[in-house]
Each structure stands twice: as C-alpha cells, then as structure tokens.
Structure 1
Amino acid sequence: MAALQFPYTLFQTRNRMDDYGAKDMRCGDLTEAQLTSHYGLVDVSTRANPYTFTKITPFNQPQSMFYGSRGEGEKITRQQCVAMLFDEFRDLSRLFSVYGPYRHLIEKMITHMQYGNGKPFRDMLLNSALEAHILNDKTENSTLSKIKNALIENIDWVNKYYPEKETDELRKAILSGKLPKFDRFQDNFNGMGITVHDTWATHITLKSLHIDNDRYRAVVNYKMQDHFGLDSDDILKIKFRQFHFFRIWFVLQRYNQFGFKPFMTDMDAIVEIIGDRK
C-alpha cells in the first residue's frame, strides 16, 4: 500500500486564489448618477463632496439646519478631495478597531489602497492573527480538530505512515468543519472583523507527518486570501450603507472619477499538531 507523499494539498475552496474577476474587485465603473440614484450615496463624507470637489461646511452639509444658506463650499482639486476622503476613511476606521495588536491594521490597509495600486497586501500581524485563531479554536468543529481526528483514525500505525488511499478522509474531515473566519464577537472591535471578516479562498496543505512509538507530529499550512473591496450587494445593505466609513470606501473604489483599486489580502500560517494513537 502506497504511503502519502508530502507536501500534500488537503483542501482548496471552490473560490480560487487571485480571482481579480470577483464582484468586489471592480473599480472605477460607476457614474455619479448611478452612485446617487441607484445606491443612494448622496451624503458620502462630512468633509468633502466627491461629486462637486468642494469642502463641506455646516452651510453645505445636507443634514445641517444651515444647508443652502451660503451656497456651495470652497472649491478644491481632485487630489485635495481624495486626500480628505482617505483621511476621513482612516479616522472612521477606529470605530471598528478599538483595542489589541491588530487595531492599526485597517489604517495600514486603507493607506495601501490609496498608494498600492492594487498590489497584494501582506503583514506579519495578519499571519499571527490567523495562527492564533486556528490554535485557539478548541471546538470540535475546528478544521484542526477534524484533521487531528482523521489522522488518528487513518494512520497505519503498524507500518508508521499515512495511506495514500485514505487522503479523501482528510478532505471530508475538513469539509465537515468550520474554516477560520474573523466573525467572532471580539473581531467587531479588535480590528480583524473590519480588515478580513470572511475569507474568499483557502488552501490547506499537510507539509509533513512523522510517526513513531504510537505518536505523530504533523505540520499543516493554512493559506487564506480575502479581498479588500466592496461589491454592490455590500453597499445596498443598510448595515453597511448607514456608515460614512463604507460610503467613502465604495465611492473611492467604484466612482469613475477615482477608481482606487481593491486588493488581495494574503494570510499564511504554519501550525503543528502533536498527538498519539489513543
């Protein structure tokens, strides 16, 4: 019976990595008329009007009691308007990123959107967050627990290897579990819910497996990717559209006068499993 050779890809999501054709990766494709009429994005910012390139004051802010009494605000350039919108975007991000080591990630990612021209984003803190999430999930539904149980049940303990013909058992085990997602209660405030939340694509690879004296040591690699971008479904939801934060994000990304590119967020974690036959 053949032994499994390493590294071996245990699992891949249907969504593929580097999918630049996804709906939330579109940019610069909507007009002012579409943004204001279809999406209702009239009141976008409290600092600058992205459609007229004017500063917003109490006299030209639609919800103000002084609205219309002094005419339009001071004219600004497109570059000045963009800078003001991104600064407000960063300031508002602190509502969703209150404490912990990941709280500054969202500001770094907003700045990457401003200057990165769509290049993928990587950060050691993202890798650390993913690793901590995987290791700290002690529930029976965690993919790591599922992999651990499948290894114990299917290792050929006599001959000290994992049979190649049993690889489907590992894949089925992962499918029965819950992939790591930053949708826990604490992620609403620690910065991970707003930077990643759900993920688009996941690859799980068994890097190595050593078996000796009824014990095993396995090294598993999780590669996960999310998109830092919004699609139409996102902004049409009231829970997103009610916040200036998401309105500014959508307009900076999708308005044909701006078209700032969304990007891939890459995360990579290598974790170790140690267990025994019992």
Structure 2
Amino acid sequence: MTALKFPCTIFQTQNRMDDYSAKDMRCGDLTEAQLKSQYGLVDVSSRVTPYTSIKITPFNQPQSMFYGSRGEGQKITHQQCAAMLFEEFRQLSRLFSVYGPYRHLIEKMITHMQNGNGMPFIDMALDSALKEHILSDNSTENSTRLRLQKAFNIFIDWDNKNYPIKNKDELRKAIAFGKLPKFDRFQDNYNGMGITVHDTWATHITIKSLHIDNDRYRAIVHYKVQDHFGLDVDDISKFKFNQFRFFRIWFVLQRYNQFGFKPFMTNMDATVEITGGRDES
C-alpha cells in the first residue's frame, strides 16, 4: 500500500496567500468628496482636519460653545497632519487592547502602517498567540488539532507503520469540517488580538513529518496563517466600525488619495505536535 510522503500540505483555504488584489488592500483610491458623501467621513479626528491640515481647537469645533470666536485653527503641513492622525490612531487603539501579552501589538502594527510602506509584518507575539490558540482549543467538534488526531488514530496503517496515500483526503476533511484558528473569541475583544487580526484571510496546514513506532505516532504539523491589516468599504459602511473614531481615522489614512498609507500582510506561523496510539482509534 502506497504511503503518503512528508512534508505534505493537506489544507489550503480558497483565499490565496499574498493576495494584494483583495478589497481591503486598496489604498489612496478615494477623494475627499467620496469619503464625505459616500461614507459620512466628515468628523474624522478630534485633533486635526485631515482634508485641510488645520488643527482642531475649541474655537473651530461646531459643537463647542467657543466656536467662531477666534477664527480658524492653526494650519500645519501635510506631514504633520498625518503624524497627528497616526498618534491619535495609536492612542485610540488602547480601547481595544486592554490586557494580556498581546496588547502592545496593535500600536506596533499602526506604526508599521505609518513607516513600513506595505511590507509584510511578522512578530513573535503573533506566532505565540496562534500556537496558544491551537493548543488551547479543546473542542472535539471544532479543533483542527483534535480532528487531525482522530484522523491519524483511525486511518494510519499500523501494520505497515505508515499513512496510506489513499486516505490523504481524510486529513483535508478533518480540517475542512473543523474551525480554523481565528481571533474572534470573547477574550480577543480586549487582549489585543481581536483588533490586530480577528478574522483571517488565508490558512495553509502542512504535516511536516509523521513517525510511527511501537503502536504510537508523533506528527509535526505547521500552520501558516495570513491576515490583512486593512479596511475595505464594506467595513467602514457598517455602524459597528463607523461609529468609532479609531476606524474612521484608519480608513482615511489608508484610502484618502492625499494620504494612501499602504495596508499590509500579517504573517503568523505555528508548529504543533500531535501524538496518539493504536489503542486510541
């Protein structure tokens, strides 16, 4: 019976890796008129007007009791305006990143958007978060790790000490009918992962090796996950995003044709060990 050779990629999402044509990867493509009329982005920042680069003070805010008493605010350069918007962007991010080892990530990623010119982003904390998510998911229905473990237990050819190639699709199905690791749990709303990643765009899962001996097996499985740090028009059209100044600033910095700061790929990797035995099948 022909044995499956390793390493072997057993699962890939329909969304492909490094898809720079995705809707949330667009930048610098909207005018001031479009941002205001189509998406209601008139009140964007509390510190500066992005369309005129004029600082906002109590004297030029229409809702202020001092409005109009001292004329317009101070005009600053386009670069100073962008810097002020990014600083406010970082400060507002703390509302979504309250505690835990990942709370610093959103500010690092905002700064990467400011200075990285669209280069992919990697960070050991992201890799740790992915691995922790995979290992802590103990749902037999959803966990891709536990579903793979069950498939190994059932379909390994114990007599020949290999995994038959004819059963390869059982490994893919084990993943497809589970739930890929995503940061949409309740705790991710506050630990920094919900705002930095939340959903994911593409996932590849590869079995790096499979060793079978004495009716036991040990599989090394690699998860490669990619997300986009960018907003599309569907995002900003939703009230749950548009109501927050944080997302309004993000969208203007990315999509306004006078800024056009580039979104980027967020890359995560995790390698986990899966073990089991003949008597567990």
TM-score bracket, shorter-length normalisation: over 0.9
Structure 2, gaps ≥5 residues long: none
Aligned twin of 1:110: 110
2:216 is aligned to 215
Q: How does 1:175-214 map to 2 (within 5 A)?
A: 175-214=176-215
Query: Deviation at 1:68?
Result: 3.4
Match of 1:100 in 2: 100
> Which amino acid in structure 2 is aligned with residue 64 of structure 1?
S
Kindly report which structure 2 residues correspond to 1:108-257, keeping only aligned pairs within 5 A, or say none.
108-140=108-140, 141-257=142-258
- What's the TM-score, normalizing by structure 1? 0.99
Is the 1:209–1:219 Cα contact (8 Å) retained in structure 2?
Answer: yes
Q: Answer yes or no: is 1:26 the counterpart of 2:31.
A: no
- Residue ranges of structure 1 left out of the alignment (5+ in a row): none
* Residue matched to 1:262: 263
Task: For 2:63 and 2:114, locate their aligned partners in 1 and report how far apart those are by CA, in whole Å.
Answer: 28
* AA aligned opposite 2:24: D
Structure 1 residue 72: deviation in Å? 1.8
Alignment RMSD, CA only?
Answer: 0.8
For 1:157 and 1:30, locate their aligned partners in 2 and report how far apart those are by CA, in whole Å.
60
Distance across 2 between alignment mates of 1:88 and 1:239: 19
**Is the Cα contact below 8 Å between 1:46 and 1:61 reproduced in 2?**
no
Alpha-carbon distance in structure 1 between the residues aligned to 2:93 and 2:190: 10
Question: What is the number of equivalent residue pairs in this alignment?
Answer: 278
Aligned to 1:41: 41
C-alpha separation in 1, matches of 2:115 and 2:157: 53
8 Å CA contact retained: 1:147, 1:173: yes
Alignment of 1:46-85 (within 5 A): 46-85=46-85
Aligned identity (percent) is: 78
Taking structure 2 as the reference length, the TM-score comes to 0.98
> For the structure 1 residues 149 and 62, does the alpha-carbon distance in structure 2 shift closer, same or farther, using more than 3 Å as the test?
farther
Whichever residue aligns with residue 255 of structure 1, its letter is Y
Structure 1: 4+ residue segments shifted above 4 A: none
C-alpha separation between the residues in 2 aligned to 1:210 and 1:61? 68
Q: By how many angstroms is 1:58 displaced?
A: 1.3
